[in-house]
Chain A
Amino acid sequence: MREFRYEKATDPAGAVALLAGEPEGAYLGGGTNLVDLMRLGVATPDVLVDVRTLTSTEVEDLPDGGLRIGAAVPNADLAAERRVRERYPLLAQALLAGASGQLRNRATTGGNLLQRTRCTYFTDTTMPCNKRAPGSGCGAVTGLHRNLAVLGATDEGPESAHTCIATHPSDLAVALRALDAQVRVLGAGGERSVPMAELHRLPGDDPSRDTTLAHGELITAIDVPALPWATRSRYRKVRDRASYAFALVSVAAAMDLDGGCVRDVRIALGGMAHAPWRATVAEDALRGGPATEEAFAAAAEAELAAARPLADNAFKVPMATNMITRTLLQISTEARS
């Protein structure tokens, strides 16, 4: 691990000011991913500005019935928060499906969204990786990629500087994507709000960038808008172990039913892409149509038509199709009972 200076600020603006002058500095939240990456030599900040408890650790009601979640709220506390459990079951379930009890106690809401990919070529500094070492190529497309992206990836071959098939590892982000959350960000130029849809990006021709945040911008809170029918929602995660493993495929879904019809629906996928993947094709196909298993399956297949899997991750296409179908079916069954 490279030597670094450790700094604390007295408030978020102070932290932003500290980091503004440190091009190689970084914010330290719970540290559950950053310290891990520093120890591997993947992240090499020369200054750490500790923001773990600096932003809000509170969950507040918004006037519209939504919630404002302080960026410093630990994952465990957020999952245990009664308003989250009551209003947004998929959000609590996503948090509880992630990591372990110990990690959830330490990891923050803001930091969770900024996790880096667990692609083994990214975390091994001796391997080519366009995300870690831009221009070095991609080791994963010809190597271990069983749990990497099938949607929205860039694959121009192993030598290309654009190629990246990384997945985003957060479960929380998938649920927040389905809920159309807004991420409040403080930068040197003031505060702004970034829709979850715009926070994470696809690799495009620059895999090194996971998000649209500029250096030094600090997540201060997440606003989750009211969605009364999110009480009928689910987060379903498929993983190699029964617990304590990253998603192979995950589905965050909520559905508003009008008798046998889908009035509205939200579907987001995890483990499938460089960013939490909003299944808009499937949503559009379902909205206003019948809430039947056949319709769910057809919508899922339509969404996955864009998948471009490699040899060892092709299973994610039928797995995701099944899990979208199954999750929607469970929500509709529960709604009827």
Chain B
Amino acid sequence: MDREITLEVDGAGRASTVDTRTSLLDALRERLGVTSAKKGCDHGQCGACTVLLDGRRVNSCLVLAVTADGAQVTTSDGLAGEGPHRLHETFVDHDAYQCGYCTPGQIASAAGVLAEVAQGWPSAVTEDLVAERTELTDAEIRERMSGNLCRCAAYANIVPAIAEVAVEQGVRA
């Protein structure tokens, strides 16, 4: 059943007719021509489709587009301002990818991680659950980024790429 929705995608208002069955990911890829969010599993098992939905990182494959009517969607591409986002630069500099397919999802996820840490959210490896401040250590990056699989296995390069930005943003010493 078709429904009209509007989304703000990477800063631009977009209207689309979607099937109620259409995922946010497929609305982006198959209807709006947005290529930054990728399909790697369609079941929330790989993270390639990660976008920021109203500022929070989510798997866009598991969000029905109709439920996102009126929402703000930010892909990796939309993180860029006048120039590239710092994560774009550090990922290139640390060669934090190979094939590049999971990469926009990794970067959108990393942007989410940085925001979550800034709010003091703990993770499964946080030693002191009630600490006021969380330091984005290597172990914290690894745990928090584990929802983004990289089959080329650039993990050991992704960690320093995120760490560099974490330092700049004051969530890592």
Please report A residues at the B interface, Cβ cutoff 8 Å. Answer: 1, 3-6, 28, 30-32, 35-36, 38-40, 48, 50, 52, 76, 79-80, 82, 85-86, 89, 92-93, 96-97, 99-103, 105-106, 241-244
Contacts and interface: CB of A to CB of B under 8 A. Distances in A.
Q: Which 4 pairs, one residue from A and one from B, show the smallest C-beta to C-beta distance? A: A100-B147, A243-B146, A96-B124, A80-B121
Nearest to A52: B67
Contacts of B123: 96, 101
A101 B67 contact: no
Interface string B1-21: 101000000000000000111
Contacts of B23: 35
Nearest to A243: B146
A100 B47 contact: yes
B129 A93 contact: yes
Interface in B9-67: 19-21, 23, 42-44, 47, 50, 56-59, 62-64, 66-67
A243 B121 CA distance: 17
Given A86-B130, A101-B109, A102-B147, A1 B58 contact: no
A254 B3 CA distance: 49
B122 A80 contact: yes
A4 B3 CA distance: 12
B57 A50 contact: no
Given A1-B21, A3-B20, A39-B42, A79 B122 contact: yes
A100 B59 CA distance: 10
Contacts of A93: 124, 129
Contacts of B43: 36, 39-40
Interface of B: 1, 3, 19-21, 23, 42-44, 47, 50, 56-59, 62-64, 66-67, 109, 112-113, 116, 119-124, 126, 129-130, 142-148
A82 B130 contact: yes
A101 B113 CA distance: 8
Q: Which of B56, B113, B145 has most chain A Cβ within 10 Å? A: B56
A40 B45 CA distance: 14
B119 A80 contact: yes
A106 B56 CA distance: 9
B20 to A, nearest CB: 5
A80 B124 contact: no
Query: A31, A102, A242, A243 — which one has the most chain B CB atoms within 10 A of its CB?
Result: A102
Contacts of B143: 242-243
Given A32-B44, A92-B129, A103 B59 contact: yes
A102 B109 contact: yes
B44 A85 contact: no
Contacts of A38: 21
Nearest to B3: A6
Contacts of B62: 30-32, 35-36, 103, 106
B121 A76 contact: yes
Given A102-B147, A106-B62, A243-B143, 4 more contacts: A76-B121, A92-B122, A101-B57, A101-B147
Contacts of A241: 146
Contacts of A4: 1, 20-21
A103 B53 CA distance: 12
B146 A244 contact: yes
B124 A31 contact: no
